[in-house]
Amino acid sequence: MTWIPPDIAPLCTTAQGNLTQCAPIGFAYLALLAQLFGKPMFDEDPRQNTYSSLYTSDDLKNNDHSDNMPDFKKKSTDDVRFIYDFIIVGAGSAGCVLANRLSEIENWQILLLEAGEEEPNVTSIPAAAAVLINSNIDWAYKTEPDNVTCLQQKDQICVWPRGKTMGGSSAINYMTYMRGHRVDYDDWAADGNEGWSYKEVLPYFEKSISLRGPIYSKRLHGIRGPLNVERFQYTDEPSKIIVEAFQEMGIPLKDLGLESKVGVDINLTTSKDGKRQSTNVAFIEPIRRERKNLHIITNALATKILMKIDKNEAHGIEYYKDGKKYQAYARKEVIISAGSIDSPKLLKVSGIGPREELESLNIPVIANLRVGYNLQDHVTTDGLLFSLSNNTSTLTSNFQLLRDVLNYYKQPEKKNGPLATTSIVNSVAYYNTNGTKNDAPNIQFHFDSRRLEDFVIDPETYIATNIFPFSYFDAVAVRPILLTPQSRGVILLNRTDPIFGPPIINSGIFQKPQDLEYLVNATKFVIRLEDTQIFRDSGISYYKLPLKGCEQYAWGTDAYIACLFTDYTTTIAHPVGTCKMGPAYDKDAVVDPRFRVHKVKRLRVIDSSTMSKIIRGNTNAPTIMMAEKGADMIKEDHNIRIVKLK
């Protein structure tokens, strides 16, 4: 199936002005991307099928889920199986890693289920990441209105993108490689999660990557892993100016990808030769046709964990593909890696979750656990901008934009130029609102490209229809991000349609007033960028006309800044914590420190939902690390000898 771009036409018809993306160039750009890059990145595995010629749910309806698995041998082939050793639900940042590492054991049969399509070629273009949001490879989840956040968005709802394709959110994110700070993991361990200190997780970060670049040439670790990590070759002038400006303000130049300390730099990325490295590209494609014990099924929506009720033991998955229901069974374990929104949903519809919620929906309770709670994300704003001068603007003509897309397509395997980078997005700074003496930051600064005139005309529609490459801009959105939020949200089941309906997301953002206070203080700090010599010399200054909804406040005051966060709320799509890791005595814990679901046997959750506290940085790299460590835990628990990492 081909990639389908986001449908911006309905939003454009209600726009309050002539936005560039709503003009013919916007639709021409989408059409060109779809034509050149819309096909799947890799050919579909010929072993992939739906068992349509074998058993379906009708054949299994009399199965009592007893210890005696149904006998499929008479109808099975080497490539078509109903019984596996491990079933992994979700081929995202964690699931692809697990599928790779578990299938290393040749006599283990692995099934990987993915609800989305094969990964399309368009995901490979770094500068085009924004156009993936609201396309057919995005779950396009939305928050519930709460009268506190997203007040200038349509219906006071914020979009929470999540990848729905091979590679999951690693196929649609902005490719920033960042591990967090050592104190993050030491805090996990201090909370009772044995084995999760920084010293103990560091080898698993190193195991997953191949780190390229001149300054890393003499490293002994992190150079042989599947995931390529490097800096983009192409760096534009505004990105360099931002790094220099922070240095003028006393923020030191540091390598932030390997640890998130107070500092600034052009960051590392999950890319190779100007192309994205999703976990699908890095961990699955190289072994997909080589390992006969790995079976992958796409467009397969898992709807229920099959349980042996008398033993509180998971032993399979029910899923839908092409409108038909199927069941697959696991001899050893079922592993849920569907992410921080869909993992709690799948547990709940299977009877694992808060008793009160499940009983209200007539779902039999198998394990009364706090599933869906402890939701955290990195909150920021879309409303703070500075404008570039004519000398620093990177805007180009419509013709040149389309020509750059065509040139990128025509380039050989190694890509370069303005589309082979995330541009301004990859300028990153860390700051501590209590000063810089403590190198564990509580604030991160990210940046995003903007077209100033379009944004000013209609901020709401501009943000919702922002499709153009990161590389062409005359303004920059400054995003102060709270790294250590105290507020917590919750994921609830859709009461109308718990199984197929989108879950209810109560973000909980700004439930704790201190969170907003930290962001206001961080914003007052970053506003001082325009006082630096490099900004003055470059003719860069903040856009200071109050935005809609905040006109009653003077620009730059505490009240105005707070309004930017409540009215133009956004996150950087890092939801975590909804299947919290913790020891048995932690009443909020869903899984133990080895990812095993409390009160349920043979069931693990391994993904970002198990983070007890969100880390100080982007969450893709830590999720990959957790899957690496989880794979070794599984091998240990099944008496497979592993090489201890140092």
Catalytic residues: 574
SS3 label, residue 404: helix
Phi/psi at 246 (nearest 5 deg)? -65, -35
Paired with 571 in beta bridges are 379
- H/E run at residue 523: helix 513-527
Tokens, residue 548 = 């809609």
Q: How many CB atoms lie within 10 A of CB 121?
A: 18
Which of 54, 417, 479 is closest to 236 using CA atoms? 417
For β-strands 504-506 and 490-492, DSSP reports them as antiparallel
CA torsion, points 524, 526, 528, 529, in degrees to nearest 10? -170
Phi/psi at 546 (nearest 5 deg)? -55, 140
Residues with Cβ within 8 Å of residue 96, at least 6 apart in sequence: 112, 166, 167, 168, 170, 278, 279, 280, 282, 283, 284
What's the Rg (C-alpha) of the chain? 24
Q: Which amino acid is at 195?
A: G
Q: How far is CA 454 from the centre of its chain?
A: 28
Q: Burial code of 184-212, b = ≥16 C-beta within 10 A, e = fewer? A: bbbbbbebbbeebbbebbbbbbbbbbbbb
Q: What angle (nearest 5°) sits at the alpha carbon of residue 403, between those of residues 417 and 38?
A: 90
CA torsion, points 435, 374, 564, 257, in degrees to nearest 10? 50
From CA 376, how far away is CA 254, in angstroms rounded? Answer: 27
From CA 261, how far away is CA 444, in angstroms rounded? Answer: 10
CB 33 within 8 A of CB 4: no
Q: How far is CA 540 from the centre of its chain?
A: 32
Residues with Cβ within 8 Å of residue 646, at least 6 apart in sequence: 203
Paired with 165 in beta bridges are 117
